[in-house]
Amino acid sequence: MSMVGNLRKVADLARRTRRRVDLSHPARSPLGSSVVNCVVYHDGVRRPGRDSVEEAVRLARKRRGGFVWLGLHEPGEEEFAGVAELFGLHPLAVEDAVHAHQRPKIEQYGEVLFSVFKTVTYVEHAELTANSEVVDTGEIMVFTGPDFVVTVRHGRHGSLGPLREDLEAHPDLLAKGPSAVLHAIADHVVDDYVTVADAVQNDLDQVETDVFSPHSPRNADAGRIYQLKRELLELRRAVAPLAGPLDRIATEPRACVDKEIQTYFRDVFDHLTRVTEQINAFDALLDSILQAHLAQVTVAQNEDMRKITAWAAIIAVPTMICGVYGMNFDHMPELRWTFGYPMVLTVIATACLLLHRNFKRNGWL
């Protein structure tokens, strides 16, 4: 069977599943503490009051131009099973949403668009060390359907409360439907990428300054550089894989994405491209800083070896002379001479001073 045929089959299955769900009797919500918010919008205006998930779906589908936005935080499999049945979500997408730790992507399942975004935040620290955490990541999964948006958040950050308030202040955008929410979330996530990248640049500048500072501890710089490269890799894993999906959603027509909203995704893609280029530049600069640090360590080791060699040469002079005059021979020059001992000391001191002067002049001491 062709791919198009499979997609049509999945779409038909999703529609039949939604029709089989009985919404005539408001049952208790299948979710517990994982529900963050459940709101119904009609023509971009929020419906007042708090409703159960089933009641919210009924109200959204009762009137044309309405949709429900259900926000969840780390739901379990049993909790999310009711939502999957209620909205006709694909089992593969449901599994990804529950277990998290997914690669950023945007996939189409029939009439439902499933999106995975990696959220990032900058971890404040007084000083960058070899064990400092710089970037903390989380995940936001978004199910976008004809009349619903289901967001599943994993992690300690990435709250969508402020974003929801900003959207509600622009009902003309919300009137475009669920795709407006999807764009707002994508834009919010990418804006966080920009903020974190700018903060990481401050750490990078500090490391660069310390590496070329004459008072910097050489043994600490390598660990800090390596730790910053690891944190930068974590940021790249969140940013880079999203480029392809965002490009496709910004250029390829989709039934669940409003054409006007699709234009805004191009701006999000441009911002993501800028962050990706910035991260690549950071990584290249860190490689150069690490090479410079290793070169400095090598030069410092060579200087230490030259100093050791110079002092060893100076110490070799009195060792040699004392070794010769320490031999128990009866016939040796100046052995019975009254000024023999002062003369030997004078020769030793003069030779050592001359060697020290030459080494100093050549930069070995």
Question: DSSP string spanning 20-55?
Answer: HS--SS-PPPS--TTEEEEEEEETTEEPPS---HHH
Among residues 82, 78, 114, the alpha carbon closest in space to that of 97 is found at 114
Instruction: Report helix, strand or coil for 137.
Output: strand
Final residue belonging to a domain, choices 296, 312, 327 = 296
Written as one letter, the residue type at 124 is E
Residue 38 belongs to a domain with what CATH number? 3.30.460.20
343 in the same domain as 212: no
Within 8 A by CB and 6+ apart from 219, the residues are none
Task: Provide the 8-state DSSP code for 338.
Answer: T
What phi and psi values does residue 33 have, to the nearest 5 degrees? -75, -10
Domain extent for 148: 3-296
Residues 183 and 304 placed together within one structural domain of the fold: no
Q: Would you state the torsion angle of the CA atoms of residues 94, 100, 106, 108, taken in this order, to the nearest 10 degrees?
A: -10
Using an 8 Å Cβ cutoff, are 59 and 47 in contact?
yes
* Cα angle value 143/69/10 (rounded, 5°): 30
Per-residue confidence (pLDDT) for residue 216, from 0 to 100: 63
8 Å CB contact between 138 and 156 = yes
SS3 content of the chain, % helix, strand, coil (to 5): 60, 15, 25
Q: Pick out the chain residues at pLDDT < 50.
A: 1-30
Give, for 119, the enclosing helix (H) or strand (E): strand 112-122
| Each residue's pLDDT tens digit, 22-77 | 333 333 444 556 778 888 998 888 888 777 888 888 888 887 878 999 999 988 88
Q: How many CB atoms lie within 10 A of CB 251?
A: 11
Dump the DSSP string for 150-175: EEEEESS----HHHHHHHHT-HHHHT
> Do 306 and 171 belong to one domain?
no
Which of 270, 296, 322 terminates a domain? The answer is: 296
Q: Assess whether 309 and 327 both reside in one domain.
A: yes
Same domain for 344 and 330, yes or no, is: yes
Residues 282 and 322 in one domain: no
Q: What is the CATH number of the domain that holds 315?
A: 1.20.58.340
- Model pLDDT, residue 37: 85
Is the separation of the CB atoms in 253 and 262 below 8 Å? yes
For the beta sheet containing 45-46, the strands, ordered from the edge strand earlier in sequence to the opposite edge, are 45-46, 35-42, 66-73, 148-154, 135-144, 112-122, 105-109
Q: State the amino acid at position 197 in one-letter form.
A: A
188 and 222 fall within a common domain: yes
Same domain? For 46 and 137 the reply is: yes
Q: What are residue 39's DSSP bridge partners? A: 69
Terminal Cα distance for the chain, rounded:
81
Q: Report the domain count for the chain.
A: 2
Using CA atoms, how far apart are residues 190 and 202, in angstroms rounded to an integer? Answer: 19
Cα–Cα separations (whole angstroms), residue 343 to 202, 316, 338, 346, 354 = 65, 18, 10, 5, 16
Q: Clarify whether residues 327 and 292 are in a common domain.
A: no
Tokens, residue 42: 């009609």
Q: Are 282 and 319 members of one domain? A: no
Task: State the average pLDDT for the chain.
Answer: 82
187, 268 contact by CB (below 8 A): yes
Same domain, 218 and 357: no
- Planar angle of CA 279, 273, 152, nearest 5 degrees: 90
Given the DSSP bridges, would you call strands 35-42 and 66-73 parallel, antiparallel or unpaired?
antiparallel
What pLDDT is stored for residue 143 in this prediction?
A: 95
Closest CA to 221 of 125, 122, 121, 127: 127
CA separation, residue 194 to residues 20, 62, 278, 349 (Å): 44, 40, 9, 67
pLDDT at site 199: 92
Residue partners of 270: CB distance under 8 A and separation at least 6: none
Boundary (domain end) residue, out of 239, 274, 296: 296
Query: CA 181 to CA 329: how far, in whole Å?
Result: 102
Indicate if 88 and 176 belong to the same structural domain: yes
